[in-house]
Structure 1
Amino acid sequence: MASSAIAAPRTAQFSNFVYEGSDPSDAIKAGPGQYRNPVVQGFYPDPSVTRAGKDFYLVNSTFAWFPGLPVFHSTDLVHWEQIGNAIDRPGMLDFKRLGLSRAVFAPAIQAHQGMFYILNTCVDCGGNYLITAKDPKGPWSDPVWLPKVGGIDPSIFFDDEDGGGRVWIVNNDGPPGPPEYPGHRALWIHEYDPKTQTTVGPATLLLDKGVDPATKPIWPEGPHILKKDGWYYLTAAEGGTAEGHSQVVLRSKSVTGPYVPYTNNPILTQRDLPRDRPLPITSAGHADIVDTPDGKWWATFLAVRPYGDDLYNTGRETFLLPVEWKDGWPVILENGKTIPYVADAPKLPALKTAPTSGPFKAAETFEGPELPMSWMTMRIPSKRWWSVKDGTLSLEARKDRVGGHEQPSIWARRQQHMNASVSTTVRFDPKADGDKAGLVAVQNDDFYWFVGLVQAGGKTLVRVEKRTSSKDPLDGAVVAEKPVSLKSGQSLDLKIAARGGALDFAYATAPGQWQTLKADADGTTLSTKVAGGFVGTMLGVYAHGVEE
């Protein structure tokens, strides 16, 4: 318990924030020289990777959470340390009141001659843009918009070797004619002039529909071009981001095509495996391929780990597998094989950093002056309503709320394990009915859970609330509550524990004296299958006040 202190009016103070998690797959032990999948657990989808010398850099999608587009560094592709966020300043983008699965989709990072490039799409908030940095830690430039590059998922390719130094952008967009079926899309290429920061000439069609048009393939996306041994390789995801997800490859002697598909596509998928297999990994795709200093090749990609019938709360995660070149084609995983939880690691020097895979515990001390880089808030704040110092995170209890497509007083970190708990100590003195402060588990505005202090009917209560559909009250429906009597300045401990699809909520007025407020709540409402969208569950702290 934190020491007693009186929080400022309309301010909630949080301390002793502890996250802890584990998974059933932890029973599969990694031996010397091996690594665990996923390499970055939790809501880290759409991984894109690049190499600069002996160093690797990775970025992921964050949609309408801010700061966005986390940038990771590694020396061995297994141990990753977050070094920045590419979208870290209000004013770079405007997420407005967008749903949490809109805004910044799949980023693509590329290192080239001492400069780093990220291409990205801000869906419903500007379109495709490019940002650059000399140091991947940042600061990253303000966006340069690409009005002639439509659709989503742009990436950049520098054709230095026998390509005359020309630069190209490849992306997903609509087909050359009217769509013939839902999900009918195409891949296009545009020449790009870095000096004028504009595209040059018309776009060229690379792939319509997919590698086998007769099967009506859906959503070719996340395209990348790499060059090896005189061949240009076009890799892309196909089949949508659910269980039908896959990765395919084509090649050509010319960067603009025509591209011929690999006979044994897809080069990565889990869609044809038995659904009742133990500890399944599903929905694999959206890969990016990189070479290593020792001449090997590896792929990062997204996949999910369901705990039931396609149920997962942890979102889409970052996995790693070696790439084997077979008769001039890159193969990530032969058809019919399962993605391993444990595999032989790259023979590269490891980076010493906090774990992002396997069982672990992370305690945040809030020493300040800023929050950890991995913490995010919903949409983009227009002012600073929080402070971090001396072991305390203070949040103004503002009128914006979770559930209202607003920018509420919330800071959160990802749920990274199937079985996870988060606990904190809060000091809050609610003044009016509707004031509240505590812990939240958020999937989106329509699907979240809350446990904390509230005022209702003039009384202070500890309460569990939920929002499990757009029809529920914006402030959440009451699930359980108890009166609680706290002395002036006295703190309250709170805990949320996730066990697959079940949630437990507890509180304590004295250290270690936990009382269960609600057990076995339906946590499947935080799964992607129920809540929809592309994000994962975020666990964090929240304060709301009916007046300001």
Structure 2
Amino acid sequence: MISSKGFLLFSITFLTILQAGAQEKNAKKKSVPSPVFSNVIYNGNDNIYTKNPLKSDEFYSPVLQGCYPDPAIAKKGDDYYMVCSSFAMFPGVPIFHSKDLVNWTDLGGVLNNVKEFNPHDTGISEGVYAPGITYNPHNDTFYMIVTAFTGKMGNIIVKTKDPMKGWGSPIKLDFGGIDPSIFFDDNGKGYVVHNDAPDKGKELYNGHRVIKVWEYDTENDKVIPGTDKIIVDGGVDLSKKPIWIEAPHLYKKNGKYYLMCAEGGTGGNHSEVIFISDNPKGPFKPSSNNPILTQRYFPKNRANKVDWTGHADIIEGPDNKYYGVFLGIRPNDKDRVNIGRETFMLPVDWSGTFPVFENGLVLMEPKLKMPKGVENKTGKDGFLPNGNFMFTENFTSSKLDYRWIGLRGPRENFISITKQGLVINPFETNIKELKPTSTLFYRQQHNTFSFETTLNYKPASEKDLAGIVCLQNERFNYVFGITKKGKDTYILLERTEKGASKIIASKKIEIKKTVKLQVKAKGDSYEFNFAVSDATFENLGGAVSGDILSTNVAGGFTGALVGLYATSANNSKL
């Protein structure tokens, strides 16, 4: 038997060993190098804007460039709030504010509490999408309703009295389907409409969907069981087998109820259609002049193409005219969709029985006339820019611009702002994994653009890498970064397609000061350049195709992201 004194000595020795092991482990953790990014310059320069300069009474559409699809809009007084899909980007459901529909400020994301919305294990095109936003004057409350594909959340709703001050916790709603929106009648009664599958055994063809309506209990925030009803079966004309009737919105005007929906799928056949009824629960009759918005009738090889228009919402503007927001795309020179689906706007003529998007059935132009009395301040005084612009970030503000986002988790989990710049504390996760990554992302907003950063970084091992990533998803991306091989430091360009990675080019470098990294794109052609210690830029790998950054090749619903990337789990093989 061991004596009490011997036991005490053994315990002390054992604890000392444990503490030493913990200290060694912590030392190893602390030794992982953290890159410092001192600035970023994003410069967008599309020909469409160069050739179409604005006059004093004009503004550009899209109003939100880059991956901001599925817009929905609401107003209270002269305050407008617009939300969009975010998928697995974080925070969820970006929200914007305007007083005039022209000048917009970014308020961040509605779903910004990772304990309540956590897309950590979802594909980039899952997460959360197709939100609706509605103001209820009867209880002075805003409602945001959306479908969440994470944590078995399903359809959820959140509320606030003031979108400037944040939102309440998500409330799970007991119905299936996607694309919900909520409507409040003149008497305060609530209704939820959404896309769903046909009743069991009644699906007639692939893409056959229906629109359902439920009565909504505003006191208890739930749909009322047993009140659901199919109000549109298939679409405008079921005999023509229309696909993907979705994104419904209910409106009321002159005592009539209007149901506006997208039809045709969110691709080249996308359109917006309208129905009318005397009752919010139908029956709804389609307008004879459907569709009221589409670009599907024009030649595919047209210049300055805007396509896929649909998934719209309508609001009364500051000049007492109606305006519609909707998604659309601007493909590049290879007809590929790298920017993603963006938020466009058009005036809406509702002088007759049915609303019609003005010039929504002709080739879309990049410019619109501003509402009367509005001044274009885009890019000034904190308003988001549009058209061609330069965005410079020196990381000197304690409040990081909301255009910087995380993927599958909050950006705050891996960044810190210091006097030297932005520090990214690398996760032991790389960009090819279906997990949160330590990457600060910015949406690609132009087909012709450059993205440049200055980096202070010295990798300690082959597992360490930092630089720039251009990403469509975890299986389709470019990594342009600095890493180690043996005792030498390298810069590499890696292409990942269908999950298979290949080093396109690499070069041994010696870092004495900082390194500048740059990606430049002109349509489908992307170039990756670097400069060591204030030298001039040098290309690595030549011109490469942006095909893997398009939805045409990679699939999904999102646009390309460009990010500041760091990892301690690099698996690029030099």
Please state which band the TM-score falls in when normalised by the shorter chain.
over 0.9
Match 2:185 to one of 131, 155, 159: 159
Distance (Å, rounded) in 1 between the aligned partners of 2:416 and 2:76: 36
- C-alpha change, 1:382 and 1:16, in structure 2 (3 Å) is closer
Are the structure 2 counterparts of residues 66 and 259 from structure 1 closer, same or farther at C-alpha, using a change threshold of 3 Å? same
- Cα shift at 1:455: 1.2
1:523 partnered with 2:552: no
1:312 alignment partner, SS class: coil
Percent identity, aligned pairs only, is 36
Query: Could you tell me which amino acid in structure 1 is paired with residue 80 of structure 2?
Result: F
How many angstroms apart in 1 are the aligned matches of 2:105 and 2:132? 18
How many residues are treated as equivalent by the alignment? 531
TM-score, normalising length from structure 2? 0.89
Give the secondary-structure state (helix, strand or coil) at the position aligned to 2:63. Answer: coil
Q: 1: CA distance between counterparts of 2:378 and 2:65?
A: 15
Bigger mean CA offset, 288-297 vs 261-270: 288-297
- Aligned equivalents of 1:391 and 1:367: distance in 2? 9
Query: Contact (CA 8 Å) 2:511, 2:533: kept in 1 or not?
Result: no
Alpha-carbon distance, 1:512 to partner:
5.7
Q: Deviations over 1:98-148 (max 9, x none)?
A: 11000101111112233211001102441000011222123211100002x
Among 281, 290, 295, the residue aligned to 1:265: 290
Query: Which position in structure 1 is the counterpart of 2:482?
Result: 453
Instruction: State yes or no: 1:50 paired with 2:74.
Output: yes
For structure 1, the residue ranges without an aligned partner over 5 or more in a row are 1-6
- Higher relative contact order, chain-length normalized (CA < 8 Å, sep 6+): 1
* Structure 1 residue 381: Cα displacement: 4.7
Deviation at 1:292, TM superposition (A): 2.1
Q: Paired residue for 1:121, among 147, 150, 154?
A: 147
The change in CA–CA distance for 1:34 and 1:353 in structure 2 (over 3 A counts) is closer
Residue type at the aligned position of 1:534: F
SS in 2 for 1:11: coil
Are 1:143 and 2:166 an aligned pair? no
Structure 1 SS opposite 2:239: helix
Alignment counterpart, residue 47 of structure 2, candidates 4, 24, 39: 24
Q: Distance in 1 between matches of 2:360 and 2:569?
A: 56
1:300/1:383 Cα in 2 relative to 1: closer, same or farther (>3 Å)?
closer
**Deviation at 1:9?**
3.8
**Map of 1:35 onto structure 2:** 59
One-letter code aligned to 2:171: V
Equivalent residue for 1:67, pick from 70, 87, 91: 91
Q: Tell me the TM-score normalised to structure 1 length.
A: 0.94
Q: Secondary structure at the match of 1:90?
A: coil
- Assess if the C-alpha contact under 8 Å between 2:411 and 2:440 holds in 1: no
Match of 2:244 among 200, 219, 226: 219
- Once the two structures are superposed, residues 194-248 of structure 1 have per-residue CA deviations (whole angstroms, 9 ceiling, x without a partner) of 1111111320111010011111111111100010001100001010101110000
1:296 deviates by 0.7
Alpha-carbon distance between aligned partners in 1 of 2:37 and 2:251, rounded to the nearest angstrom:
48
SS of 1:25's equivalent in the other structure is helix
Partner of 2:344: 319
In the aligned structure 2, how far is the partner of 1:437 from the partner of 1:219? 42
Within the alignment, does 1:195 sit opposite 2:254 as a pair?
A: no
CA distance in 1 between counterparts of 2:399 and 2:469 reads: 20
Alignment partner, residue 389 of structure 2: 360
Matched with 1:539 is 562
Q: How does 1:248-327 map to 2 (within 5 A)?
A: 248-308=273-333, 310-325=335-350, 327=352
Cα distance in 2 for partners of 1:351, 1:32 equals 8
Query: In the alignment, residue 430 of structure 1 is paired with which amino acid?
Result: P
Out of 112-121 and 509-518, give the one that drifted further: 509-518
Structure 2 CA distance for partners of 1:224 and 1:406, relative to 1, 3 Å: same
Q: Which residue of structure 2 aligns with residue 417 of structure 1?
A: 446
Equivalent position of 2:209 in the other structure: 185
Hey, what does 2:26 align to over in structure 1? Answer: none
Q: Distance in 2 between matches of 1:139 and 1:336?
A: 38
Report the alpha carbon displacement of residue 395 of structure 1 after superposing the two structures with TM: 1.1
Structure 2 CA distance for partners of 1:351 and 1:107, relative to 1, 3 Å: farther
Question: Secondary structure of the residue that 1:529 maps to in structure 2?
Answer: helix
**Deviating more after overlay: 250-259 vs 507-516:** 507-516
Deviation at 1:307, TM superposition (A): 1.6
Give the whole-Å Cα distance in 1 for the aligned partners of 2:536 and 2:356: 54
Relative distance call for 1:327 and 1:398 in structure 2 (3 A) is closer
Q: Distance in 1 between matches of 2:535 and 2:373?
A: 44
Give the counterpart of 2:193 among 163, 166, 170: 170
C-alpha separation between the residues in 2 aligned to 1:102 and 1:51?
28
Partner residue, 2:516: 493
Residues 423, 334 of structure 1: alpha-carbon distance in 2 compared, 3 angstrom cutoff: closer
Partner of 1:91 in structure 2? Answer: 115
Q: SS at the partner of 1:323?
A: strand
Separation of aligned partners in 2, 1:231 and 1:80:
31
Mapped contact 1:76–1:351 kept (Cα < 8 A) = no
Residue in structure 2 matched with residue 3 of structure 1 by the alignment: none
Instruction: Give the structure with higher Rg (CA).
Output: 2
Deviations 1:331-379 (A, max 9, x none): 0146741122112122243474524311100111112434211111110
Distance in 1, matches of 2:91 and 2:419, equals: 23
Distance 1:309 1:252, change over 3 A: farther
Letter in 2 for 1:342: K
For 2:188 and 2:90, the matched residues in 1 are separated by 35
